Structure 1
Amino acid sequence: MDRLLRTWMAPAAMGLAGLMAAPAVEAKTLWFSGMSWTVRPDGQGGPRNNYWCAANAFVDANGELHLRITKMKGNKWCAAEIVSDMRLGYGTYQFQLRSRVDRLDRNVVLGLFNYPTADVGADATNEIDIEFAKWGDAAADMLNYTAWPVQQSLGPSGNTFPLALNGDLSTHRFIWQPTFIRYQSTHGHYDDNRFPIADWTFAPADYGNRIAHAAMPVHFNLWLVAPPSNKQPVEIVISRFTFTP
């Protein structure tokens, strides 16, 4: 799994030093699933030094979130990311998708995750991920669950699963508790795992070092490890996000 230090964080998710150093940019905000979100502004930066376009994230008339990867001039492509203006802690994080994420190009990554602010921890710590990605390898599993430790030196823990949806709708969640993180994915839009795709629990004995315990913002991002091998733009629809403390 690729991890590079991020060069951007939404204003609500940055420490004071980051705010003072950041250039003045008028942030675009969205209202989605009853929450306020900040859109990553136009620019270039990690992961994988992608280009980012604020116009590639929007909410439609039905209240659904759209994330796009679009072609720029030359062989450049533009990605999208949003981050919640609220930090969330222990509870159930549920993401309902209306897109065939099982058919993503091998170079496309869709991330649904929380991510530490500077006061919580460094990059490659604390993060809890659900990612749809083959990381450039067409033979790899598409569904990735990853838990990043509180102590960076311990390294991530995770599991991958094949993904073959029976339609456009799927639900994915992680249940974050002090001693474990449980990940689930199911066909359709349901609040349980009645048509299971995957179910994995991470419950280490040294949970205090391996499971995050501080509230963090939630991120959605759609980006590339390399230009799409099929040379096609991408659009993902996220119908709803819910958080239950």
Structure 2
Amino acid sequence: CYTFNVRSGSGGPGPNIWSSNNAWVDGNGLLHLKIAYSGGQWSTAEVYTDQSFGFGTYQFKVVGHPEIMDQNVVLGLFPYTTPAIGPDGTNEIDIEFATWGAQQTQHGNWTVWPAVTGYDSTSYAFDMSGNTGWSTHRFTWGSQQIAFQALTGLSDTNTGLYANWTFAPSNLTLIPQYAIPLHMNLWLFQGKPPADGAEVEMIISEFKFTPAS
């Protein structure tokens, strides 16, 4: 069981207005994240842990259709740096569903940010057209590589695997090396409203962290 804080206030990414009303756990234990329109403004959702997680496997089960989300909507599942570890743009491992304002056709994005400043992030985009309303997304983070997987269905095995990428750079500075908190968010790219004008809701039915042995 993990304890999450709900973000409120304004700021990046986006920037956006983050509302504590836009993230909740229902009676079945499912986490809902929502982009809502109220009082003439759009608001977004983010939750994060105080607990830090390090090397191991991060698995997320998603209910919904991230592969057809609006071009300005982003769903992010990611460990993220703290000021003690490093600045923004370092120490982050992203599973993100987005087309970044229709800049690309694929909705799937995996990105690894370096352990220190002075290096670029490395990304891999993947097609999600075979996705169903239930999907599993995971990565295994080690000191020398990070292996990502996307699967149809809610699965603890490799059944339904439709995309994978292993990032194993010769320069290990490109891989985060310290334990960091976990964030999950649903937000608007560049703070722009959904192009279709519709509110958005996504469900995370499970997050599970398995420490490296």
Counterpart contact for 1:100–1:165, Cα < 8 Å: no
Q: Residue 159 of structure 2: SS of its match in structure 1?
A: coil
Question: Quick one: which of 177, 181, 198 aligns to 1:217?
Answer: 181
* Residue number in structure 2 paired with 1:156: 121
* Aligned length, in residue pairs: 209
Using CA pairs under 8 Å that are at least 6 residues apart, name the structure with larger relative contact order, 1 or 2: 2
Q: How far does the alpha carbon of each residue in 1:51-84 deviate from its partner, in whole angstroms, 9 at most, with x for none?
A: 111010000000000000000233x210000001
* Residue number in structure 2 paired with 1:146: 111
1:163-202 to 2 correspondences below 5 Å: 163-202=128-167
Q: How far does the alpha carbon of each residue in 1:196-217 deviate from its partner, in whole angstroms, 9 at most, with x for none?
A: 221000000011x111111000
Counterpart contact for 1:185–1:193, Cα < 8 Å: no
Taking the aligned partners of 1:213 and 1:113, their CA distance within structure 2 comes to 15
1:118 equivalent to 2:83? Answer yes
TM superposition shift of 1:166:
4.5
Give the superposed CA RMSD. Answer: 1.1
TM superposition shift of 1:39:
0.4
Letter of the 2:12 partner, please give it. G
* Residue number in structure 2 paired with 1:22: none
Q: Which runs of 5+ in 1 are unaligned?
A: 1-33
Give the TM-score taking structure 2 as reference length. 0.95
* Residue number in structure 2 paired with 1:35: 2
Q: 1:138 to 1:210 in 2, by over 3 A?
A: closer
- Higher strand proportion: 2
TM superposition shift of 1:165:
3.9
Give the TM-score taking structure 1 as reference length. 0.83
Identity of aligned residues (%): 44
Q: Residue 135 of structure 2: SS of its match in structure 1?
A: strand
TM superposition shift of 1:150:
1.1
Taking the aligned partners of 1:176 and 1:123, their CA distance within structure 2 comes to 19
